[in-house]
Each structure stands twice: as structure tokens, then as C-alpha cells.
Structure 1
Amino acid sequence: MAYGVDLAFRVEEVLADLPEHGLQEIMETIAAALVRRDVWPTPGGWDARLWFGPRSWVQFVSYRDGIEVVNVGWAG
């Protein structure tokens, strides 16, 4: 089954300001969180999870068939 990813508006703004290597790491961190459905919070609730990359993190909520990334950070 394919899962979807939505990005909050703030996340889109942050991604637009990152250098290419920062953007790539954030996208890889999002992909890693997406494929680990076992770590997703309860779909449709107010719970969120953090998923960490080497120098980045993403905060996301889940719904039945995907995740919404609500915040990101990169220590570059």
C-alpha cells in the first residue's frame, strides 16, 4: 500500500530556505518516518511523533493512509 505525505505550510517555507544537502537530508528523514508505520501516532488524533535524522528532525501526525509533517529542523 502506498502512503501519502502532506507538508504543513510552515514546513514548505523552511524547506525552500534550506541548502540542497539540508533539503535532501530532511526529505530522507521524512521518507524514513513514512515507511515506519509502527512508530506513527494514533491516526487522526492530536498526538505527534518526532523522527530524527543525522542532523535533522521531523515532527509529524498521522492519518489512515499517511502522515502530515507539521515541523522540521536541521542543524546545518
Structure 2
Amino acid sequence: MPYEVDLAIRVENALDELPPEGRKVVMETIATALVRPGEWPQPGGWHAALVFGPRSWVCFTSFLDGIEVIDIGWAG
């Protein structure tokens, strides 16, 4: 089943400000979160989850068909 990723406006803006290496690292962390639906928070409501990569983190909520990334971080 294909899943969908939505990015909050602030996440889109933050990705635009990252250098190419940082954008790649964060997008890999988002992909990691996306392929682990068993670790998603309950869809709807105010619950969120964090996934950490080697040099980044992603905070996201979930809906039935995917996730919405609400915040990101990169240690560059």
C-alpha cells in the first residue's frame, strides 16, 4: 500500500533553507518514518511521534493513508 507524506509549511520552508546534504539526510529520515506505519501515532487527534536519523530528526502526526511532517531538525 502506498502511503502519502504531507509537509507543514514550516517544514517546506526549513527544507528550502538546508544545503543539499541536509535536505537529503532529512528526506531519508522522513522516508524511514513513512515505511514504519506500526510506529505511527494513532491517526487524528494531537498525538505525534519522533524519528531520529544519524544527523536529523522528524516530528510527525498520522492520518489513515500516511503522515504529516510537522517539524524537522538537522545537525549540520
Corresponding position of 1:21: 21
Corresponding position of 1:10: 10
RMSD: 0.4
2:39 aligned with 1:39, yes or no?
yes
Give the fraction of aligned pairs with identical amino acids, expressed as a percent: 63
**Superimposed CA distance per residue, residues 39-71 of structure 1 (whole angstroms, 9 cap, x where no aligned partner):** 000001210000000010000000000000000
Partner-residue secondary structure (3-state), 1:13: helix
Say how many residue pairs are matched: 76
Amino acid at match of 1:59: C
Unaligned runs of 5+ in 1: none
Runs of 4 or more above 6 Å deviation: none
Unaligned runs of 5+ in 2: none
Amino acid at match of 1:23: R
TM-score, with structure 2 as normaliser: 0.98
Corresponding position of 1:70: 70
